[in-house]
Amino acid sequence: MRPADLWRHSSFRLALGVTLAVLGALILVGAVGYTVLHRQLADRQDARLMEIFTTLLQSDAADQQDVIEAINARIRASPNQSSIFLLRDAAGRILAANVRDVPIKPGWSTLDAAVLGVQADYPYRVFAGDLNGNFLVVGLSNADLNDLSEIILTGFGWSALAVLVAAIAAGAWIAYRLQRRLGDVTARLQRVAAGDLATRLAVSGRGDDLDLISGEINQALSRLGALVEAMRQVSADIAHELRTPLNRLRIHIEQAARHAAVSAPVEDDLAAAIAQSEAIDQTFSALLRIAQIEAGAHREKFAPVDLAALLGDVADIYAEVAKDAGHRLRIEVAEPAWIRGDRELLTQSLANLIENAIRHCPAGTTILCRVRRQGGQVRASVSDTGPGIPADERDKVLRRLYRLEKSRTTQGTGLGLALVKAVADLHGAELILSDAAPGLRVDLVFRQIVGSPRP
């Protein structure tokens, strides 16, 4: 990663933002600390100054010479003029001094070294007042105070610089690490975009947010892969299964052509060809209908439906057909069971289940239609005492156009259960195929139940 690229990374910008905030806080703390410390040092200096002044004031007043001696002793003890003194008598004569005689007002003041005629870089803190009829000026150089302030300021300056450098380095390092992982994610997603759905994002195992997002994307990719595989399977199934009816159609047309060549009647051949093409058309219509249901096209037509009454009605319609085929059709619906759904699609699904039992079971079978309320669920079931479906085929018969080998000769296209499955999914219901020992039991379990609507 080039340094110029750093700015593009949000992690680096974030680190820099935090750095600036820390730096701001450091400057604030430094400024407050400096002011407090400076004030304390200045107060101490003033206290020392006042102490010198009072000590001289308390010396023997009667002997002015002693006072002058004491001042001169202090002047000698301060050859570099860190302390300054000036004693003037009432007539304005200098009695003792190590500075130029300049007019100084009584009380506290701060004076430049040049004003006092002293060779120094720093100003003086000065206190002046009456000393037993004379005028005494005592001052202390600000050199120590200013030196200390400088040391404090330099200390703060260096630590602020160190924090800044450390934060920028940390930010750049974090940005670099993150960029390496994001670069890997981008590269892998580009492979997915190019069609390689088997690609998965790397998960570091640290459980951080990037791992979390990668895990979610991986799951989505798995689902997408399964979906695409299912679609591929469906198209292959459809292509494979439609070859037989299309071959039959070709045979009828070829036969018509052969008959026409010898001037034999072709009406039967053409009628058979038309019937075959109608069957193909019906298969496509059914496939289209399932696709529409899967796309959720019917969801806006959902309304309260009493599944108990509905199954009762459908079973009534098939009672005669079942009887003609030599079956016994029993209906067990006790209380109303309201769910939210599409009446037309539910009717079609229940009809498909009853039709299957009639069509795929030998004469003498008992078909039982039941609707029961169980807790927060409504369970509609159609069971028979026929041959049933082997456990390893129960998933496959839900696929479009899939039929058991033994059913190849019976009427049908293998789309009935695929439609039931699509309708169940649309309603958020579970479709369960199980062994009725003997026979097949199909359950539709609905969770979207509703109270009975007001009449």
Ligand X SMILES: Nc1ncnc2c1ncn2[C@@H]1O[C@H](COP(=O)(O)OP(=O)(O)OP(=O)(O)O)[C@@H](O)[C@H]1O
Which residues are at the interface with ligand X (CB under 6 A)? 352, 356-357, 360-361, 384, 386-389, 397, 403-404, 407, 412-418, 440
User: Could you tell me which residues come within 8 angstroms of residue 216 by beta carbon, excluding any fewer than 6 positions away?
Assistant: none
Span from 136-144, 303-311, 350-358, 369-377 in contact with Mg ion (CB under 5 A):
350-358
Which does residue 414 touch among ligand X, Mg ion, none (CB within 5 to 8 A, set by kind)?
ligand X
Using CB under 5 A as the binding rule, whether residue 386 contacts Mg ion is answered as no
Question: What is d(CA 242, CA 381) in angstroms, rounded to the nearest whole number?
Answer: 31
Strands (E), 33-80: none
User: CB-wise, 9 or 403, nearer to Mg ion?
Assistant: 403
CB of 414 to ligand X, least distance (A): 4
User: Smallest gap, in angstroms, from Cβ of residue 399 to Mg ion?
Assistant: 13
Residue 403 partner contact from ligand X, Mg ion, none using kind-dependent CB cut-offs of 5 to 8 Å: ligand X
Which residue has its beta carbon closest to ligand X? 416
Closest approach of Cβ 316 to ligand X, in Å?
Answer: 19
Q: Characterise 388 by phi-psi region: left (phi > 0), alpha (psi -120 to 50), beta (else).
A: left
> What is the nearest approach in angstroms of ligand X to the Cβ of residue 397?
4
Nearest CA to 442 among 377, 365, 358, 357? Answer: 357
DSSP 3-state of 332: strand
Side-chain-side CA neighbours of 105 within 13 Å: the count stands at: 5
386 binds, among ligand X, Mg ion, none (CB under 5 to 8 A by kind): ligand X
CB of 10 to ligand X, least distance (A): 54
* CA dihedral for 223, 228, 231, 232, sign (positive or negative): negative
358: β partners:
none
**Long-range contacts, stretch 167-173, CB < 8 angstroms, 24+ apart:** 167/15, 167/16, 167/18, 167/19, 167/22, 167/23, 168/15, 168/16, 168/19, 170/15, 171/11, 171/12, 171/14, 171/15, 171/16, 171/18, 171/19, 172/3, 172/6, 172/12, 172/15
In this complex, which beta carbon is closest to Mg ion, that of residue 349 or of residue 356?
356
Shortest distance (Å) from residue 301 CB to ligand X: 23
> What does 106 interact with, of Mg ion, ligand X, none (CB < 5 to 8 A by kind)?
none
Six-digit token string for 286: 């059914």
Exactly one of 386, 416, 419, 427 binds Mg ion (CB under 5 A); which one? 416
* Minimum distance from residue 357 beta carbon to ligand X (Å): 4
**Using CB atoms, what's the residue nearest to Mg ion?**
416
Name which of ligand X, Mg ion, none residue 298 binds, using a CB cut-off of 5 to 8 Å depending on partner kind. Answer: none
Which of Mg ion, ligand X, none does residue 361 bind (CB under 5 to 8 Å by kind)?
ligand X
Residue 356 in the binding site for Mg ion (CB under 5 A): yes
CA angle in degrees (0–180, nearest 5) for 152-155-157: 110
Q: How far apart are CA 190 and CA 181, in angstroms?
A: 14
User: Toward ligand X, which CB reaches closer, 101 or 241?
Assistant: 241
381 binds, among ligand X, Mg ion, none (CB under 5 to 8 A by kind): none
Q: Which does 146 bind (CB under 5 to 8 A by kind): Mg ion, ligand X, none?
A: none
User: Which helix H or strand E contains 153, and what residues bound it?
Assistant: helix 143-193
Structure tokens at 107: 């009380």
- Residue 415 CB, shortest distance to Mg ion, in Å, is 8
Interaction site with Mg ion (CB under 5 A)? 356, 416
